[in-house]
A = this chain, B = another copy of it.
Amino acid sequence: MGQVHARAWSRLRQHYPDAPFRPELVAVADPSAQARDLALATYADVATYEDWRELLARDDLDVVSMAGPNALHHEVGVAVAESGRHLWIEKPAGRRLAETQAIADAVETAGVQSAAGFNYRNAPAVEWARELVRGGRLGQVQTVEVRFLADYAAHPDGGLSWRFIDEHAGSGVLGDLVSHAADLACHLAGEVAELVADEGRFITERPLVAGAGSHFARGGDGERGRVENEDYVGALLRFASGARGTLAASRTAVGEQCTYGFSVHGSAGALEWDFRRMGELRVCLDQDPQDAAYRTVYVDRNHGETAAFQPAGGIALGYDDLKVIEAHRLARSIAADQPEGATIHDAVRAARLAQAMATSVSTRGWTPC
């Protein structure tokens, strides 16, 4: 993700010529020599560091991105804020609520701006969806369904990477996909008042693979270690508004590559989105409540940030474009000294929901958020 942030910054002015500054990538820290070499090959005039502390010691940094594994979020995130730099941090921003909260506190204390990597919000179709919901076009919201299904851990021989170890990851699908799902649920339909959750652990052992930094590495017949966290979470939600919701997230869902989506039903309309077809929003609007039909709308320059990227409907934005939007919002936050887009405080909210789910699983009951 560090590369994705760097790419996003370099494209900022290309898509937003009025952006308040033209960012320059000056330094990269990564314990991996290979990653540092890659940075050198890609960018002219970039300094590289093995230790992120050395990078922070530079005196020419305005913004720092934190995109490493969960276990480092807390320490680095706090240090960045305390050093007075604006912080762009990937979710979940800590292994558990306390860590996320600590980062948020540091940001608050330091008076810096923050961005949290809830990139799905930035898809023009999602932005439009939120406008429709918040603007009352669906009437009173009745139900919200959020599904985040992935297959990245679907292979039983997928190596026992840091994601499966609590010390490194904090949790399983909760800190990963549920983090995004919870953020979207609230982003669309407001605060969740309480929830009840269940979890599933389907693949309980995985091969010990040397250097299994990635969940894509595969082991064979050798030794296996215990998976320490959950593959699946399901939850029933009650929103503060009275709306009901379901949330399901799985990392072992065969057949699903980034099946990340939601549907919202209200008294006057409905809508549906899926990340795999991220430029489309299915909307059911402005009809009699019975026998109403969905339109499949390809976003165009009237929807979200599309106009900064493509001239007309039907021309796809890509994932990386969402990150340019994220960078732009952080740039504007910095210039205006006022948050815009998802911040560390949204990460706190998502972490609070994830923790409520974990609590609900152990207490087997409804849990306030």
Which residues of A are in contact with B by a Cβ distance under 8 Å? Answer: 3, 6-7, 10-11, 13-14, 17-18, 22, 38, 41-44, 138-140, 142-143, 145, 149, 151-152, 154-156, 158, 196-200, 202-203, 216, 231-232, 234-236, 238, 242-246, 248, 250, 252-259, 265-270, 275-280, 284, 288-298, 300, 302, 309-321, 364-366
Contact A278 to B236, CB < 8 A, known contacts A140-B202, A256-B270, A288-B155: no
Q: A270 to B250, alpha carbons, bound, how many Å? A: 13
Instruction: Please determine whether B200 and A250 come into contact, CB atoms closer than 8 angstroms.
Output: no
A314 contacts B198, C-beta separation under 8 Å:
no
Nearest CB of B to A296, in Å? 6
Evaluate contact between A270 and B290: CB separation under 8 angstroms.
no
Q: Which residues of B contact A235 (CB under 8 A)?
A: 236
Tell me if A143 and B257 are in contact (CB < 8 A).
Answer: no
CA distance in complex: A232, B149 (Å): 24
Complex CA–CA separation, A3 to B308 (angstroms): 12
Collect the chain B residues with CB atoms within 8 Å of residue A244's CB.
Answer: 198-200, 232, 234
Please tell me which one of the listed residues B202, B255, B317 contacts residue A292 in the complex, with CB atoms under 8 A apart.
B255
Is A200 touching B143 in the complex (CB atoms < 8 A)? yes
Nearest 6 CB-CB pairings of A with B: A318-B318, A257-B314, A258-B314, A255-B284, A257-B313, A255-B270
Q: A143-B248, A216-B312, A258-B298 are in contact. List 15 more A-B contacts (CB 8 A).
A: A14-B42, A145-B248, A149-B265, A154-B292, A158-B290, A232-B244, A246-B246, A256-B270, A277-B277, A291-B312, A293-B295, A293-B296, A293-B298, A294-B296, A316-B319
Enumerate chain B residues within 8 angstroms of A253, measured Cβ to Cβ. Answer: 142-143, 265, 270
A138: nearest residue on chain B (CB-CB)? B254
Q: A290 to chain B: which residues have CB within 8 Å?
A: 151-152, 154-155, 158
- Output the least CB separation between A316 and chain B (Å): 5
**Residue on B nearest A276 in the bound complex, by CB:** B314
A234 CA / B195 CA spacing, docked (Å): 12
Contacts of A256 in B (CB 8 A): 265, 270, 314
With known contacts A43-B13, A290-B151, A293-B298, A265–B254 Cβ distance under 8 A: yes
Sample 14 A-B pairs with CB under 8 A, ordered by A number: A10-B11, A13-B42, A14-B42, A143-B232, A143-B234, A234-B246, A254-B289, A254-B292, A255-B269, A256-B270, A257-B300, A258-B298, A258-B313, A291-B313
Q: Which of B140, B199, B293, B312 contacts A297 (CB 8 A)?
A: B293
Docked CA distance A253–B267 (Å): 8
Q: A13-B42, A14-B6 are in contact. Are A236 and B198 (CB under 8 A)?
A: yes
- Which B residues are CB-close (under 8 A) to A366? 364-365
A142 contacts which of B6, B252, B266 (Cβ < 8 Å)?
Answer: B252
Residues of B within 8 Å of A316, CB to CB, are 275-276, 278-279, 316-319
**Do the beta carbons of A314 and B142 come within 8 Å of each other?**
no
Who on chain B is nearest to A3 by CB? B14
Given the known inter-chain contacts A42-B13, A277-B277, please indicate yes or no for A284 contacting B254, CB distance below 8 A.
yes
Best-buried of A156, A243, A291 by chain B (most CB within 10 Å):
A291
Instruction: State the Cβ distance, A330 to closest chain B Cβ, in Å.
Output: 19
- Tell me, in angstroms, the Cα distance from A255 to B270 when the chains sit together: 6
Kindly provide the distance from the CB of A317 to the nearest chain B CB, expressed in whole angstroms.
Answer: 5
Complex Cα–Cα for A188 and B269 (A): 32
Best-buried of A11, A246, A255 by chain B (most CB within 10 Å): A255
Q: Is A314's CB under 8 angstroms from B10's CB?
A: no
